[in-house]
Structure 1
Amino acid sequence: MSEKVDVVVVGGASAGYAAAVAAAESGAERVVVLEKARRDDVGGNCRYSAMGFRFVHDGADDLLGLLSPARREELAGRIRVRPYSRDEFFADLNQVTKNLIDQELAQILVDDSRSAVDWMTELGHQWVIWPKPVRVDGFLEYPAGTVIGPADGGLGLVERWIQIGGRLGVELRTESRVSGLLGNFHSVQGVVVDGPDGRYEIEAGAVILASGGFQASAERRARYLPPGSDLMKVRGSRHNTGEVLDMAVALGAATSGQWQGGHASPIDLNAPDVEVDNTVNRYAYPHGITVDVNGKRFFDESERHRTYTYAKTGWAVIKQQGGIAYQIFDQQAVDLFPEAYRAAVPVQADSIEALADKLGIDAVALARTVEEYNGAIDDSVPFDPTREDGRGTVGISPRHTNWARPIVEAPFLAFGVTGGITFSFGGVRTNRDAQVLNTSLDPIRGLYANGDMVGLFHHNYPSSSGMTRNAVFGGRAGVSAADAAGRR
Structure 2
Amino acid sequence: MTQWDVIVVGGGNAGYASAIAAKQAGAGRVLLIEKSSETAYPGGNSYFTAGAFRTVFSGLDDLLPILHNVDSETAKIVDMDPYTSQDFMDDLMRVTGGRADPKLANVLVNNSRETIDWLDKVGIQFRLSFNRQAYKVEGRYKFWGGMVLSVVDGGKGMIKQYHEAALRHNVTVQYGTTLTRMITDQVSNKVQGVEVLLQHSSGSTTKQMLTSNAVILTCGGFEASPSMRAQYLGKNWDLAHVRGTPYNTGDGHVIAQRDVYAKTAGGYSSCHATCWDANTNPHKGDTVLTNQFTKSGYPLGIMVNRDGQRFVDEGMDFRNYTYAFFGKEIMNQPGSVAFQIWDAKSLSWLREEEYADSVVEKVVANSIEELAEKLAAPDQKGSWKATLTSEKTLVDTIREYNDAVTAHRRQYPNLKWDPAIKDGLSTQSSEKQLKLPKSNWALSLDRAPFVAVKITTGITFTFGGLAVDPQTAAVLDTSSQPIGNLYAAGEIVGGAFYDNYPGGSGLMLGSILGRKAGTSAANISAIRHKSSRL
Above 0.5 in TM-score?
yes
| Residue 144 to residue 310, structure 1, CA distance change in 2 (3 Å) | closer
CA distances 1:426-471 after superposition (whole Å, capped 9, x unpaired): 1000012101001100010101000000013110111111111111
Q: Indicate the residue corresponding to 1:260 in structure 2.
A: 269
Corresponding letter in the other structure for 1:384: D
Confirm or deny: 8 A CA contact 2:14 2:490 kept in the other structure.
Answer: yes
Q: Indicate the residue corresponding to 2:355 in structure 1.
A: 341
1:487 aligns with 2:524: no
Corresponding letter in the other structure for 1:431: D
Q: Indicate the residue corresponding to 1:168 in structure 2.
A: 169
Which of 192, 197, 213 is matched with 1:194 structurally? 197
Corresponding letter in the other structure for 2:374: K
Q: Indicate the residue corresponding to 1:325 in structure 2.
A: 338
Between the aligned partners of 1:329 and 1:15, the Cα distance in structure 2 is 38
Which of 230, 243, 262 is matched with 1:222 structurally? 230
Between the aligned partners of 2:141 and 2:360, the Cα distance in structure 1 is 24
After superposition, residues 460-471 of structure 1 pair within 5 angstroms as: 460-471=500-511
Between the aligned partners of 1:244 and 1:74, the Cα distance in structure 2 is 48
Between the aligned partners of 1:59 and 1:351, the Cα distance in structure 2 is 45
Q: Indicate the residue corresponding to 2:513 in structure 1.
A: 473
Structure 1 position 74, deviation (Å): 5.5
3-state SS of paired residue (2:526): helix
Which of 247, 250, 275 is matched with 2:285 structurally? 275
Between the aligned partners of 1:409 and 1:28, the Cα distance in structure 2 is 63
Confirm or deny: 8 A CA contact 1:382 1:389 kept in the other structure.
Answer: yes
3-state SS of paired residue (2:348): helix
Q: Indicate the residue corresponding to 1:382 in structure 2.
A: 416
Give the alignment's TM-score, normalised by structure 2.
0.89
Confirm or deny: 8 A CA contact 1:79 1:141 kept in the other structure.
Answer: yes
1:311 aligns with 2:324: yes
| Residue 98 to residue 26, structure 1, CA distance change in 2 (3 Å) | same
Percentage identity across paired residues of the two chains: 37
Farther-moved stretch of structure 1 (205-214 vs 128-137): 128-137
| Residue 74 to residue 152, structure 1, CA distance change in 2 (3 Å) | farther
Structure 1 position 382, deviation (Å): 2.9
1:401 aligns with 2:439: yes
Q: Indicate the residue corresponding to 1:429 in structure 2.
A: 467
CA distances 1:107-141 after superposition (whole Å, capped 9, x unpaired): 11111101111001111221222342311231111
Farther-moved stretch of structure 1 (372-381 vs 345-354): 372-381
Corresponding letter in the other structure for 1:243: D
Corresponding letter in the other structure for 1:363: E
After superposition, residues 138-157 of structure 1 pair within 5 angstroms as: 138-157=139-158
Q: Indicate the residue corresponding to 1:99 in structure 2.
A: 98
3-state SS of paired residue (1:146): coil
CA distances 1:174-227 after superposition (whole Å, capped 9, x unpaired): 111111011268421111011136212111111100000011111211221120
Confirm or deny: 8 A CA contact 1:352 1:363 kept in the other structure.
Answer: no
Confirm or deny: 8 A CA contact 1:65 1:72 kept in the other structure.
Answer: no
After superposition, residues 27-66 of structure 1 pair within 5 angstroms as: 27-40=26-39, 41-66=41-66
Between the aligned partners of 2:475 and 2:509, the Cα distance in structure 1 is 16
Between the aligned partners of 2:402 and 2:61, the Cα distance in structure 1 is 40
Between the aligned partners of 2:145 and 2:460, the Cα distance in structure 1 is 23
Confirm or deny: 8 A CA contact 1:82 1:144 kept in the other structure.
Answer: no
Q: Indicate the residue corresponding to 2:491 in structure 1.
A: 452
Confirm or deny: 8 A CA contact 2:223 2:250 kept in the other structure.
Answer: yes
Farther-moved stretch of structure 1 (266-275 vs 421-430): 266-275
Structure 1 position 71, deviation (Å): 3.7
Structure 1 position 144, deviation (Å): 4.8
Q: Indicate the residue corresponding to 2:391 in structure 1.
A: 363
Between the aligned partners of 1:404 and 1:473, the Cα distance in structure 2 is 40
Structure 1 position 355, deviation (Å): 0.4
| Residue 82 to residue 167, structure 1, CA distance change in 2 (3 Å) | same
Between the aligned partners of 1:352 and 1:263, the Cα distance in structure 2 is 32
Give the alignment's TM-score, normalised by structure 1.
0.97
Between the aligned partners of 1:196 and 1:317, the Cα distance in structure 2 is 38
Between the aligned partners of 1:213 and 1:53, the Cα distance in structure 2 is 19
Between the aligned partners of 1:158 and 1:51, the Cα distance in structure 2 is 10
Between the aligned partners of 1:386 and 1:161, the Cα distance in structure 2 is 32
3-state SS of paired residue (1:477): helix
Corresponding letter in the other structure for 1:353: E
State the superposition RMSD in angstroms.
1.4
Q: How many residues align?
A: 486
Structure 1 position 49, deviation (Å): 2.2
Corresponding letter in the other structure for 1:264: A
Between the aligned partners of 2:142 and 2:217, the Cα distance in structure 1 is 39
Between the aligned partners of 2:362 and 2:193, the Cα distance in structure 1 is 52
Between the aligned partners of 2:279 and 2:2, the Cα distance in structure 1 is 47
Between the aligned partners of 1:439 and 1:364, the Cα distance in structure 2 is 55
Between the aligned partners of 1:98 and 1:144, the Cα distance in structure 2 is 18
3-state SS of paired residue (1:354): helix
Structure 1 position 101, deviation (Å): 0.7
3-state SS of paired residue (2:8): strand
1:209 aligns with 2:222: no
3-state SS of paired residue (2:66): coil
| Residue 461 to residue 308, structure 1, CA distance change in 2 (3 Å) | same
Structure 1 position 61, deviation (Å): 2.5
Structure 1 position 78, deviation (Å): 2.3
Q: Indicate the residue corresponding to 2:426 in structure 1.
A: 392
Corresponding letter in the other structure for 1:72: D
3-state SS of paired residue (1:42): coil
Between the aligned partners of 2:138 and 2:342, the Cα distance in structure 1 is 25
Between the aligned partners of 1:246 and 1:473, the Cα distance in structure 2 is 21
